[in-house]
Every structure is written in structure tokens, then in C-alpha cells.
Amino acid sequence: EQSTPPPAGRGKELRSPICCILGHVDTGKTKLLDKIRQTNVQGGEAGGITQQIGATYFPIDAVRQKTAVMADFEKQTFDVPGLLVIDTPGHESFTNLRSRGSSLCNIAILVIDIMHGLEQQTLESIRLLRDRKAPFVVALNKIDRLYDWQSFPNNSFRDSFEKQPRTVKQEFQTRLDTIKVALSEQGLNSELYFQNKNMSKYVSIVPTSAVTGEGVPDLLWLLLELTQKRMSKQLMYLSHVEATVLEVKVVEGFGTTIDVILSNGYLREGDRIVLCGMNGPIVTNIRALLTPQPLRELRLKSEYVHHKEVKAALGVKIAANDLEKAVSGSRLLVVGPEDDEDEMMDDVMDDLTGLLDSVDTS
């Protein structure tokens, strides 16, 4: 296959990093996702943000616009084509994962409410992240609830913070210190992201408000910074496919379909796929690769656009026979000409048997 050469001085072409969000209930995960998605940032529309199957895709231009206010503080290169954010908040997207080796998430956002500190599900989330060796950042959310906080919508945290009265700065520091101590009791060293000199040893904390949008540019900037600089190896395009089943759904006109996050490689119509099923491995051929119709085109008769081929990273719906017993959270493999189908069937079933304790009854 012919691909366009990478820009001079750069490495190989990278794919979009994938980001998940988790944390205790009511910390603001949903609201933060909404705020990140919001397209009408100052200076016009951040174009091209698309709602995908189970995820939202931000083309690099949208990220560039949303992080523009960071320019006063930090320089950034944009080496990835965009950012894919998984829409399911909470731990669903993690606990559902049957496969330990899943590459679903490159970086996670652990949301902590600055007014409440660490809560029950925060601790569970930390355990999950640790089990999966998933890199993460902390969004210290609801900073607008600090007494007398002066808000500057969609501003960088750093600029907003400089403009706060002394009492607000003091309250912030006190709460931050308490939370850092609580994190260290969980075995985590942490530091405000712009004071963090050792990103591989210290977890970075980004203060945010999902209501005013303050800190959201900082958060996006950091996600990009960490994935581009520290994970470029994982973001190289691979010849083999890395994909995870998010959900199994019946859709009128298509029968049982699976919603899949394609983390790496390509999927093509007609590909022979292997995935984990409740009663044994499923081997079938992709009948259709579907993504949602862009909003503007909704008057068209189908809700979905068909594709001959899709390229990572993205969320896509797959229609095929025999998907009724598919298990969400399992890996999806594509059988290549050299591959041993039986071996692949064993591989995907390992995901299920290895993790029977986490299989729900639904």
C-alpha cells in the first residue's frame, strides 16, 4: 500500500490516541465530556468533531483551537491526527474489559471532585488503572465551587488561577494538599501538571471546571503532550488489528451488531473476524462497517454510513452473522492469510475464562 511520506523531521505517521474517563459518581465525568465536546469555542467553531460509535473524535484542528489559550504558557507540536475520547463514563468501559491485554485506552482521566476528595469509587478506579497499568491524569474538577472563585469561561487554569483573590488561592492550595496526601496514601505521588518535573513517576493533576470550561484546555494539552511524547511507540500504525468490543446491540435492519473501538490497524468489509462468545469463540465475516450519519445528513433514509474500509483509531459498528452471543469487552481479531484460525479462537476465549469473576449476568 502506498502511503504519503511523513513530514520532514518527524517519525512515522501516528494514529490518534484513545482516552477514557472514570471516577466516583457525581464528580462531573459526564459534564466534563460534554464540555470537551462542545464545539463553539471562542473564535468560532472547532470544526470536524464527530460523534462516533461509543466515542467522540477530535480532529487535530479542533484540539488546536481548544488548546489555543495554552500558547501563553506552553508550546506544542501536533504529531497525531486527532484524539478519540470514549463516551462511556464510569468504569463500564474498564470493568467490561475481558481482556487484560486490551489496548482500548492509551490514557485515562480520573476525575476527583475538589470539594469531596477521594471517594469509594475513586479508590476502585485507582485499583483498576493500576491493574491495567494504564497511564492516567487526575482532573481535579469543580474548581468553580471554591468560595469566591472568579470565572473566566474556557480559560486555561493557569491564567484563571493567577487572577483569583488570595483567599481562593489559599483554599485551593489547602484542598490540593489534602488530596495529594490522600493519593500518596494510595501509593501515588502526584503534582500539579505544570509543576510536575517527572511525569513518569508523578501523576499529573489538572484543575478543571466542567461548568465554566476552565482547565479544559490544560487537560487536552496534557493528554496530547503525554501521549505524543511518551507513547509514540504505541501510537505507530500496526499491520495487525487491535480492536475491542464495547457493546452488543440489536439494530433494526442489521440484526445483532457489535460496537467496536478499533485501536490500531484497518478493518475491511468481508474481513474474517474472531471474537469471544458466551458459548465459545465466534468466527464470522464482516457484512457491513457502519458509522453514524453526520448530523446534517440525518434526513437521509439510513442512520448509518457504510464503509469499505476504516482506519484506526475510531468507533465503528460491525454487522455480521452469529453475533448474538458476543461478549462485550473481548478483543476482536482479524484472520490474515498466514494466521491459524484455531489458535486465534483459543486466544479470544482466554479473555473470558481468565476473567470469569467479572462476567455479569446480563
Query: Which positions lie near ligand GDP, rule CB under 6 A?
Result: 25-31, 89, 141-142, 144-145, 209-211
Closest separation between CB of residue 101 and ligand GDP, Å? 28
Cβ distance 104 to 180 under 8 Å? no
Q: Please identify, using beta-carbon distances, which residue of 27 and 125 lies nearer to ligand GDP.
A: 27
Burial profile 154-164: b = 16 or more Cβ within 10 angstroms, e = fewer: bbbbbbbbeeb
Closest separation between CB of residue 46 and ligand GDP, Å? 20
Cβ distance 214 to 153 under 8 Å? yes
Residue nearest ligand GDP (C-beta atom): 28
Closest separation between CB of residue 48 and ligand GDP, Å? 25
Q: Please identify, using beta-carbon distances, which residue of 151 and 256 lies nearer to ligand GDP.
A: 151
Q: Please identify, using beta-carbon distances, which residue of 32 and 235 lies nearer to ligand GDP.
A: 32
Closest separation between CB of residue 157 and ligand GDP, Å? 12
**Nearest residue to 19 via CA among 64, 61, 48, 57:** 57
Phi, psi of 234 (to 5 degrees): -70, -15
DSSP 3-state assignment of 43?
A: coil
Closest separation between CB of residue 66 and ligand GDP, Å? 17
Cis peptide before 313 (omega within 30 of 0): yes
Cell numbers placing 6: 511523513
Q: Please identify, using beta-carbon distances, which residue of 119 and 269 lies nearer to ligand GDP.
A: 119
Q: Please identify, using beta-carbon distances, which residue of 30 and 50 lies nearer to ligand GDP.
A: 30
Closest separation between CB of residue 24 and ligand GDP, Å? 7
Cell numbers placing 221: 494539552
**Amino acid at site 89:** P
CA gap 17, 22 in Å, rounded = 17
Q: Please identify, using beta-carbon distances, which residue of 35 and 331 lies nearer to ligand GDP.
A: 35
